[in-house]
Amino acid sequence: MSEVVRTRVVVSGHVQGVFFRDTTRREAARRGVAGWVRNRRDGAVEAVFEGPAADVRALVAFCSSGPRDAAVDSVTTGDEEPEGLAGFEVR
Active-site annotation holder among 8, 21, 26, 30: 21
> What pTM did the predictor assign?
0.95
Active-site annotation holder among 26, 30, 38, 39: 39
Q: Is the pLDDT of residue 2 over 80?
A: no
68 among known catalytic residues: no
Where b means 16+ CB within 10 Å and e means fewer, 20-38 reads bbebbbebbeebebbbbbe
Number of domain units in the chain: 1
Where in the sequence is the domain holding 65, given as residue range(s)?
Answer: 4-90
Alpha carbon distance 14, 79 (integer Å): 24
Return the closest-CA partner of residue 47 out of 1, 85, 2, 69: 85
Query: What are the tens digits of pLDDT across the range 18-49?
Result: 999 999 999 999 999 999 999 999 999 999 99
Residue 13's CATH number:
3.30.70.100
First to last CA, the chain: 29
Alpha carbon distance 24, 52 (integer Å): 16
